[in-house]
């Protein structure tokens, strides 16, 4: 499982011109599901994302988590994160989960976050989405669990 988080002032995702997810201060998580991912990866990545200290404390140091600042979370499926890009000029996707499994793991991730941390906004799995954001910093981190 691969997660790319961006600290944002606000972010939204649209499908067919309709806003399906919208947050203010918080994190945009682009989530890539690999073929061997399971509940273990869901739990590890959710814990990491929710507790990663990338928000500024009163001294201006990155020392606070999403939970500490009461920030919001927007999760968007991003199949291209699992691409192999080390050879040639075309990405390979053999490590990616098949669509049925990818959707199940994505939905299980959303359910886990909603049940154990806080409600989150999300995109639509497999849809052509347009994402708007104001990256705060910019601050961006990549996780592979």
How many C-beta neighbours within 10 Å does residue 20 have? Answer: 17
Among 77, 114, 111, 112, smallest CA distance to 97 is for 77
Average pLDDT of span 106-119: 97
* pLDDT > 90: percent of the chain: 100
Average pLDDT of span 106-113: 98
Which residue has tokens 């203010």?
Answer: 24
Which run of H or E residues covers position 39? helix 39-51
List pLDDT tens digits, range 42-67: 999 999 999 999 999 999 999 999 99
Annotated catalytic residue within 80, 84, 130, 140: 80
- For residue 109, indicate whether it is catalytic: no
| pTM for the predicted model, two decimal places | 0.96
Label the pairing between strands 121-122 and 72-77.
Answer: parallel
d(CA 45, CA 145): 6
Domains and CATH numbers, the chain: 2-136 (3.50.80.10)
- For residue 140, indicate whether it is catalytic: no
Annotated catalytic residue within 41, 55, 79, 109: 79
Structure tokens at 39: 């509940």
Q: Dump strand ranges (E) for the chain.
A: 2-15, 18-23, 26-32, 55-56, 62-64, 72-77, 121-122, 129-144
- For residue 79, indicate whether it is catalytic: yes
pLDDT of residue 14: 98
The answer to whether 124 and 15 are in contact (CB under 8 A) is yes
Hey, which residues does 114 pair with through a beta bridge? none
**Is the alpha carbon torsion for 114, 133, 31, 101 positive or negative?**
positive
Per-chain mean pLDDT for the chain? 97
Annotated catalytic residue within 6, 55, 78, 125: 78
Which residue has tokens 């988590």?
Answer: 65
pLDDT of residue 27: 98
d(CA 134, CA 118): 22
């Amino acid at each position: 499982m691969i997660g790319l988080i961006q600290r944002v002032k606000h972010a939204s995702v649209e499908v067919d011109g309709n806003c399906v997810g919208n947050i203010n201060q918080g994190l945009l998580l682009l989530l890539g599901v690999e073929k061997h991912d399971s509940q273990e990866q869901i739990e590890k990545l959710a814990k990491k994302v929710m507790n990663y200290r990338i928000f500024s404390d009163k001294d201006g140091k990155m020392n606070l988590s999403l939970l500490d600042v009461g920030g919001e979370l927007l999760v968007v499926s991003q199949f291209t994160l699992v691409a192999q890009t080390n050879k040639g000029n075309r990405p390979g996707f053999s490590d990616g989960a098949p669509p049925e499994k990818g959707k199940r793991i994505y939905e299980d991730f959303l359910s886990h976050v909603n049940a154990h941390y806080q409600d989150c906004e999300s995109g639509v799995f497999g849809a052509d989405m347009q994402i708007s954001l104001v990256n705060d910093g910019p601050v961006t981190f990549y996780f592979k669990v």
